[in-house]
Amino acid sequence: MRKAITMAAFALLLAACGPSSEEGSVEDPEESAEAARMQVQSAEFIGVSNAFEAFRDCPECPQMVVLPSGSFRMGCLSNNWDCFPDEFPAHGVTIAQPFAMGAHEVTFAQWEACVAGGGCGGHQPDDRGWGRGDRPVIDVSWEDARAYASWLSSRTGHGYRLPSESEWEYAARSGMVTKHWWGDEIGVNRANCAGCGSQWDGQSTAPVGSFAASPWGLHDMHGNLWEWVEDCHKPDYEGAPADGSALTSGDCAGRVLRGGSWDTGPRNLHSSFRGRYVPASRSAFIGFRVARTLTP
């Protein structure tokens, strides 16, 4: 049963992707790594004084981490054989204002607080028998995720939302130009995927925070669950926003997913890898985390 679900989900996730392309501009990691780190270091001190500070707006709210303003290269920064056509062309993105990102994927406990508070359409997601509490919530659509962000905004008076795709990749890279924040190789027990060397590989989600945080204080940006972002899917980055905003035109029948999941291979966990899925659909492979606009 699990295998059948996997094949159907994977077909949809890669519907817009073809075989690797020999075209496109590929970044040289050695040339760009130091520049990327310097950009982030400068942003930390110029963009916001409390960069990487963690906070909660209410007891039942997700823990958020302040991320600095800065610039980075988005898309395929490695070899052509290792990227899909929709990761090209690599392009510069500037995040002009600091924002906050969820330190973890939204959990069942946090989702249930929304339902108890009269939000989230009263939807009670199926946990597949894996447990609730601090497990990341599954069985939620893109529309459900936006409903949760809307409830948080009403609950706190602050602007919660789904991150844009470029904000997500900026956060996932955490100032690095490698495939994962810890390097190019997947390693052992650094994430939850089919082939990551964790106790949950290919079986279920892991409780949030089970793996080390990135240098920016974010957990599970690679693996555990695919994460909804705000953007409509586009088959390449030609004309993509360079200001960190979400793409809200194009194939909006497919919304972008990022990060890979407990049941996908390591290749799907690359910082630049992109998936797509129908926004009204729910799955055991998909969750989300929220972003928050910071008022100057």
Residues 137-171 have pLDDT tens digits of 999 999 999 999 999 999 999 999 999 999 999 99
60 vs 23, more confident:
60
63 phi-psi bin (left φ>0, alpha ψ -120 to 50, beta other): beta
Q: Are 88 and 280 in contact (CB under 8 A)?
A: no
Q: Residue 286 corresponds to which tokens in the numbers above?
A: 């998909």
What pLDDT, on a 0 to 100 scale, did the predictor assign at position 78? Answer: 75
Q: Which of 265, 243, 221 is nearest to 91 (CA)?
A: 243
Q: Report the C-alpha gap between 54 and 103 in whole angstroms.
A: 8
Whole-number pLDDT of residue 50: 82
Q: What is the predicted pLDDT for the residue at 15?
A: 38
Domains in the chain: ranges and CATH:
2-293 (3.90.1580.10)
For 127-140, the pLDDT digits (tens) are 999 999 999 999 99
Q: How far is the C-alpha of 128 from the C-alpha of 261, rounded, in Å?
A: 15
pLDDT in tens, 175-234: 999 999 999 999 999 999 999 999 999 999 999 999 999 999 999 999 999 999 999 999
Q: What is the pLDDT of residue 149?
A: 98
Residue 250: per-residue pLDDT: 81
pLDDT mean over 120-129 = 98
Q: Angle, nearest 10°, between helix axes 142-156 and 108-116?
A: 70
User: Which among 166, 164, 171 is positioned nearest to 65, based on CA atoms?
Assistant: 171
Query: Distance (Å, rounded) from C-alpha 281 to C-alpha 225?
Result: 15
Instruction: Give the whole-angstrom CA distance, residue 294 versus residue 292.
Output: 6
